[in-house]
Amino acid sequence: MLSTPPAAPAEAAAYFAASLAFHTDVSDVAAALAAGGDPGFTLVDTRSTEAWDQGHIPGAVHLPTAEIPRLATTFLDPARPVVVHCWGPACNGAARAALALAQRGYRVKEMLGGMEYWIREGLGYSTADGPARRDPDPLTAPVVADVCGC
């Protein structure tokens, strides 16, 4: 691990501060949406229509990545921050969507974990059959407490 030494503290601080400016996580998005009222951002699901129909986060806007150039101004307020997500950590669709939105002047963050971790953390989602929720995966979410402590 130490064959490449850790960065100097100032460099590490700059890197991690920048990371937090570009990313958020499922728990923080869920907490903001659950707090009631305006969360201060628009959550955008960038997956296909078929994926959206399979299950999506209540309150999210559906805007597939390929449609951003044509439809972003129809669905999104350029003055409002946007949080994008796709399937999960193995998918870079949210990063492509974030890039497309940033190039159009939107302030944007990517929700790490995507829909996969939303579901794995036991958070509710909507399907064609109505609301759904799965038990939290004990390897990805706290099962004894409401928060992970991070």
Query: Where are the extended beta strands (E) located within 1-150?
Result: 23-25, 42-45, 61-62, 82-85, 108-112, 125-127, 130-132
The dihedrals phi and psi of 129, each to the nearest 5 degrees, come to -90, 0
Q: What is the pLDDT of residue 147?
A: 66
Separation of alpha carbons 110 and 36, rounded Å: 22
Q: Decide if pLDDT at 134 tops 80.
A: yes
Q: What is the pLDDT of residue 1?
A: 81
The structural domains of the chain, ordered by start, are 23-132 (3.40.250.10)
The number of angstroms, rounded, from the C-alpha of 21 to the middle of its chain's C-alpha atoms is 13
Q: Decide if pLDDT at 150 tops 80.
A: no
Q: Decide if pLDDT at 31 tops 90.
A: yes
